[in-house]
Chains A and B, each alone.
Chain A
Amino acid sequence: MSGVVLNKIVKKYGALQVVHGIDLKIDPKEFVVLVGPSGCGKSTTLRMIAGLESITAGTLAVDDRVMNKVAPKDRDVAMVFQNYALYPHLNVADNIAFGLKIRKVPKAEIRQSVQEVAEILGLTDYLARRPSDLSGGQRQRVAMGRAIVRHPKVFLFDEPLSNLDAKLRTQMRAEIKRLHKRLGVTSIYVTHDQVEAMTLADRIVVMNEGRIEQIGTPMELFNNPANRFVAGFIGSPPMNQLHGFLEADDAGPVAQIGRLKVRLPKSEVLENQNGKPVVLGIRPEHVTVDEVPGSFPIRINLDLVETLGSEALLHTDLDGMTFVARVETLGEISHLSGVDTLHVKPDLLKLFDAETGRSLSVDARTGT
């Protein structure tokens, strides 16, 4: 199979194992984002693909060629680093041309390639400047230019936007997305920022402690997190996770969360599980202040209102558990201060096994 294939990849530093046999298939032209908290092994995985770290076990293949022992320069990958890794003594043109010069590409060809890349990235006016004379966004573009100019099979991005301020990050995110559409090169992007992951990725790989927790499209991960970790990592603010236990009555299973009872659909998974500890997942976005058809009410104590403009975050207390709701303001927040009841759309609830953290793969239905 072409593309990038990681088969049971393991990385150990002495006795310390940081990547635990991950499997991943990345299709040609796909934009895959590895996301996870610090120390989850995402950068190590990327560096193994680049050849900057050796692979302890497993195989890495790019376009069907096993790359484990292939030198980085022969892997036909280009990498964009977190701190740009621009040569401070070279101007923009020479920075972009560096890889081509090393490969002894003819000068005329280098000049033409640099010019083309500079036009793509809007760097034409800055070619004679040194990195120290550029803004953060411009430096980032130069770093991308250096990767693009070699026309590699795979682009590797190691948290390339983390040094930029929030506004510039949003702008550069869009530029990377446009660039990927234009060039159509397989891209693997590492970030700890789930917003970057959601906005850029064709598919997201959520990693935790050296393992892959879930692979899927951004909406798959948002709507159907495989476990509590993914539910908590994807989405901002994260999914509310309310602890309770299962009960059953004549009408079927019920999740008892404090005083709140949530009627669950009948399911084999939930049969004969009375007393089983569960976690009910409710996305903050899936809560409304006003009653909507099919929703059920939950009584809360309002603690704090955070205004975001068009939306507001309501930090509340639900039977001693923290519960956050993200609601529309329509430009007016005065009515939010008196809120004591929120309404939840039952078909969007998630249920997790409290012990294993795994999704119980049923939709909760109604609350009482």
Chain B
Amino acid sequence: MTIQEDSSSRNSDVLAAFETEDQPASGGRLEAAIDHLRREWQLYLMLLPMVIWFIVFLYKPMYGLQIAFKDYSIFRGIAGSPWVGLEHFETLFANDQFLRAIKNTVTISALNLLFGFPAPIILALMFNEVLHASYKRTAQTIVYLPHFISSVIIAGIVITAFSPTAGIVNTIMGWFGLDPVYFLTQPEWFRPIFIGTGIWQEAGFGSIVFLAAIAGVNPSLYESAVVDGANRWQMMWKITIPSILPTILIMLIIRIGNIMEVSFELVILLYQPATYETADVVNTWIYRQGLQSGQYDLAAAAGLFNAVVAFILVMTANTLSRRFSRTSLW
């Protein structure tokens, strides 16, 4: 069953008010809609804050996207700035730093998918196997905690931990006679540290979704498997993982949709010019160009490119998932 099917069935009552056969053309439909609104006004009232949020923060800024095709000047305003067609996109793709930022974004996201995406799933499967209730609760609390810590503090902890003078990592290396390394200034170390930090911060909290999915697996499937002779390992592979596969796929689709959105805050906090070579991603490049250099039109073009790529990726992932696993977001 797809998420799409679920939501459509949920909405069937609501839709029924608009789609009854005996309703005349548009006039009748409008009356029915008004009637429905009058009857269910509490629901729409609750919906209102979210609609306002979408309009203010997602739809209204779309108006500003046009500056990606204009020679924008804050003095002339959006409407007064002249159109320049695809000039900014040509500039972008002729810019080595932007191309490097795309490469870094894709590389970091791919590594994140490879290591960061399975981490909460593995964690959830491990928690599911823990039988001692209080031990399980304590362990869960400990791994959830980093999610609630500000990225600034997380970055501070990481910087301290990898410090060449007092950092715990270099201290331990020192015990084995190894020379200290200034990890955060070396481009080859940025990605492992960044991905590792992301896993540490989010794997625990991310496991909640998968734990909830595991909790939803029919217990009699396990009992049936026990009677059939399955051990815990076999039950995990043959029941738990296939049962939560739809959830895994949905989360994967969402993750793929965000592939161009590498954790901006953490990159900004951890990178430095010495590590731009591997650390500078599209969003940090946009930040520097747009806000620090004042090239809003170029930054808007880069942002638009980012959004289009994300849109194509999420559409592709959704279609592939629907075709091969009968699970999809829509």
Instruction: Verify A78–B227 contact, CB threshold 8 A.
Output: yes
Is the beta-carbon distance between B224 and A81 smaller than 8 angstroms? Answer: yes
* B242 lies within 8 A of chain A by Cβ: yes
From A156, which residue of chain B is reached at the shortest CB distance?
B227
Q: Is the CB of A89 within 8 A of B234?
A: no
Would you call B56 an interface residue if the criterion is a C-beta within 8 Å of the partner chain's C-beta atoms?
no
The tally of CB-CB contacts under 8 A between chains A and B is 59
Q: Is B65 an interface residue (CB 8 A)?
A: no
Q: With A102-B234, A132-B1 given, is the CB distance from A87 to B227 under 8 Å?
A: no
Contact partner of B227 among A51, A82, A83, CB < 8 A?
A: A51
Distance A83 CA – B1 CA, assembled complex (angstroms): 18
Knowing A87-B239, A88-B243, A89-B245, the reply to whether A103 touches B229 (Cβ < 8 A) is: yes
Q: Which of A82-103 contact B (CB under 8 A)?
A: 82-83, 85, 87-90, 98-99, 102-103
Interface residues of B in 223-270 (CB under 8 A from A): 223-230, 234, 238-239, 242-243, 245
A73 at the interface (CB under 8 A from B): yes
Q: Which residues of B contact A83 (CB under 8 A)?
A: 218, 220
Quick one: given A88-B243, A132-B1, are A102 and B220 in contact (CB under 8 Å)?
no
A116-150: which have CB < 8 Å to B?
A: 132, 146, 150
Q: Given A73-B229, A89-B245, A102-B229, A79 and B224 touching (CB < 8 A)?
A: yes
| B225 x A89 contact (CB < 8 A) | no
Q: How far is the CA of A52 from the CA of B224 in the complex (A)?
A: 9
- Tell me whether A77 and B245 are in contact in the complex, defined as CB-CB below 8 angstroms, given that A83-B220, A85-B221 are known contacts: no
Of all chain A residues, the one with the shortest Cβ separation from B226 is: A72
Contact size range, A: 20 to 34
Q: Are A52's CB and B242's CB within 8 A? A: no
Q: A83-B218, A85-B218, A85-B221 are in contact. Are A98 and B228 (CB under 8 A)?
A: yes
Chain B nearest CB from A326 CB (Å) reads: 38
Q: Is the interface of B mostly helix, strand, loop or mixed?
A: helix
What CA separation (Å) do A78 and B230 show in the bound complex?
13
Complex contacts, A73 vs chain B, CB 8 Å: 226-230
Q: Which residues of B contact A50 (CB under 8 A)?
A: 223, 227
Q: Judge whether B228 and A102 touch: CB under 8 Å.
A: yes
Are B228 and A99 interface neighbours, CB within 8 A? yes
Contacts of B227 in A (CB 8 A): 50-52, 72-73, 77-79, 99
Most chain B beta-carbon contacts within 10 A, residue among A79, A88, A146? A88
How many whole Å from B326's CB to the nearest CB in chain A? Answer: 9
Contacts of B229 in A (CB 8 A): 72-73, 99, 102-103
Which residues of the other chain, B, contact A99 by a CB distance below 8 angstroms? 227-229
Q: Which residues of chain A in 194-235 are interfacial with respect to chain B, using CB atoms and an 8 Å cutoff? A: none
- Expressed in whole angstroms, the Cα–Cα distance for A82 and B224 within the complex equals 11
Q: Which residues of A contact B223 (CB under 8 A)?
A: 50, 52, 79, 81, 85
Nearest Cβ on chain B to A171's Cβ, whole angstroms: 23
Distance in Å: Cβ of A103 to nearest Cβ of chain B: 6
A142 CB → nearest B CB, Å: 12
| Cα–Cα distance between A238 and B227 once the two chains are bound (Å) | 37
Further contacts, 6 of them, CB under 8 A, given A52-B227, A78-B228: A50-B227, A79-B227, A87-B238, A98-B225, A102-B230, A132-B1
Top 4 A-B residue pairs of the complex, sorted by shortest distance between their CB atoms: A73-B229, A99-B228, A85-B224, A89-B242
Which B residues have a C-beta under 8 Å from some C-beta of A?
Answer: 1, 218, 220-221, 223-230, 234, 238-239, 242-243, 245
Interface residues of A (CB under 8 A from B): 50-52, 72-73, 77-79, 81-83, 85, 87-90, 98-99, 102-103, 132, 146, 150
Give 21 pairs: A residue, B residue, CB < 8 Å, sorted on A: A50-B223, A72-B229, A73-B226, A73-B228, A78-B228, A79-B223, A81-B220, A83-B220, A85-B218, A85-B220, A85-B223, A87-B221, A87-B239, A89-B242, A98-B225, A98-B228, A102-B225, A102-B228, A102-B230, A102-B238, A146-B228
